[in-house]
Amino acid sequence: MALSNLQQKELHQAILAYFRKHGYDEAYESFFQQTQLHPEQQHENMLESKWRSIYQLQKQIFQLEARNKQLEEDLRNYGKGLKVDASLSLPIEPAKHTLQGHREQVTCVAFHPIFNTLVSGGEDTTIKVWDPESGRFERTLKGHQDAVQSLAFNTNGTILASCSSDMSIKLWDFNTFQCLKTIQGHDHSVSAIQFLPSNDVIVSCSRDKTLKMWDVASGYCQRTLQGHDQWVRQLDVSPDGGLVASCSIDQTIKTWNAKTGECIRTYRDHEHVVETVAFSSLKADEFLDQLFRVSTATSEDSEGKSESSSSSSELIANLKKNLAALNGPREEKKQAKRVGGRYLVSGSRDRTIKIWDVESGECLRTLDGHDNWVKKVFFHPSGRFIVSCSDDKSIRVWDIAKNFRVVRKIEESHELFLTCLAWNRTVPMLASSSMDATIKIWDCRA
C-alpha cells in the first residue's frame, strides 16, 4: 500500500533528522537537496521509535505463531496416548535464568497477561522489561523518583501501572513504552496497585493507611477507603471485581465493597504484620469447598453416629447425594454464575499462611512451615496449589488436595530475602525477585 503525501513527508523528515543526529552529513545534504524538507524537533527520534515498535510487534507475532503451532500440535495429538496436564506444572530447580540489571534490590515482578514478557521494578527507581524465555533484557522505563513498589497490567496488557515510594502512580502505554499520565493523591509511599477487571478503575494502597480508587481515563480519585490503623501493605481484587481485600501492619485483613467503598469485614487472627493477601479463583474454590465441606460433614456425622459401620467413602457419597437433592436446579444455576473469590489466603511476619472464609471471616486453616516472614502468597492457576515465598529464601508449593502438604520446595532460591513472586499464564514459568538485586526464572513442569 502506497504512502500518502503526508506520510511520505513525515518519513523523509524522520530520515533527515536521523542523518543529522548521527552525523551522516553527506547523506543529509544529498537527501535534503532531493526533498527540500527541513526536519523539526518532533522528528528527532521518530525513526528509532517506529523501528522499536516494529520490533515489538514482530516479537509478538513470533510468539503468537509459536503458540499457534503448539496448539495445532496439541490438536493433532489429542487422544493419542497419555497426556501430561500442563495446568499442574510446578517450579523445578535449577533456575532457568538469573536476570541481572537492577542496581539495587528488586521489589516486584509481573508477567504480561498475553505475551511472554516480564517486567520488574526496583529500589533503583526503574522498571525493566525482559524476555523470560531467553533471559534477554529489552528496555528500561524511567520516570519514578523513588523505589518502584508494585506493577500491574490491565487485562489485555495494553497499559502497565506502577506505583512508588515517591507517592505517585504512573500509567504506561505498553506498545510505545511512553508514560501516559502520572497520578498523585496519596500522602505517603504507595505500596501496591491493581486494575479492576473492567480496566476502568485502579485500586492502590499506601503507607498513609488508606486505599484509593482511581478513574483510569481521567486519573481522578473516585473514593478513599479508610479503616486500617497502620501502613496498608498489599491488596487484591476478587475475580468478579466486587470486592477488594487489603492487609496491613495493624495485623488485620479487610474486605471492601468495590462499588461503595464500604468496609465489609475485618479478619483478625495473625499475630504480626500481614504482608500479602490473595483471593481464590473458581478452580481453587472447588478444591477448598471439597476439603472443608467434606471434612466438616464427615466429622459431624462421625460424632452423631459413632456406632455406624459406614465407611468414609460411603459417608462422602451420601453427603454429595443429599446436597444435590437439597440444592436442586436452582443451586446448580447459582453455581454456574460463580467466578471464584469465596476464600482468601494470607501470609504474615508471624511466619504462617492462613486460609479464610470470605463471607464468615473465619480462619479455616493455618499453614506452618516457613522459618521467616512470608512475603508473597497466591493460588496456582490450576486451583489445586498455593505458592508462597519467604524471607527464609525458600519457595514452597502447598497441595490443597493433599490437605496442604508441601509437595515442592526450593531452598536457598536466592542469596538474600525474596521480595515477590509472579506466575506466567502464557508459558508455565515462575519469576522470583530478591533483595540480592536479581530476578530468577523457574521452568515449571508437571
pLDDT tens for 16-72 read 888 888 888 888 888 888 888 888 877 878 877 877 788 778 777 877 777 777 677
The phi and psi torsions of 434 (rounded to 5 degrees) equal: -150, 165
The phi and psi torsions of 86 (rounded to 5 degrees) equal: -65, -20
Kindly state the helix (H) or strand (E) to which residue 19 belongs, with its residue range.
helix 5-21
Neighbours of 27 (CB within 10 A): 15
Distance between CA atoms of residues 104 and 153, nearest Å: 23
Domains of the chain with bracketed CATH: 1-75 (1.20.960.30), 87-287+336-445 (2.130.10.10)
Distance between CA atoms of residues 210 and 224, nearest Å: 7
Distance between CA atoms of residues 111 and 439, nearest Å: 13
Secondary structure (H, E, C), 178-222: CEEEEEECCCCCEEEEEECCCCCEEEEEECCCEEEEEECCCCCEE
- Predicted confidence (pLDDT) per residue in 209-228, tens digit: 999 999 999 999 999 999 99
Q: What is the DSSP letter of 96?
A: S
Which pLDDT belongs to residue 302? 45
Judge if pTM exceeds 0.85.
Answer: no
Which pLDDT belongs to residue 320? 53
The phi and psi torsions of 420 (rounded to 5 degrees) equal: -160, 160
Length of the chain: 446
Q: Can you list the residues of the chain whose pLDDT is less than 70?
A: 1, 70, 73-74, 76-86, 294-338
Which pLDDT belongs to residue 118? 98
| DSSP codes, 214-277 | EETTT--EEEEEE--SS-EEEEEE-TTSSEEEEEETTSEEEEEETTT--EEEEEE--SS-EEEE
C-alpha cell read off for 399: 497441595
Kindly state the helix (H) or strand (E) to which residue 423 belongs, with its residue range.
strand 418-424
Q: Are 214 and 221 in contact (CB under 8 A)?
A: yes
Distance between CA atoms of residues 442 and 435, nearest Å: 18
Cell numbers 524537533: residue? 41
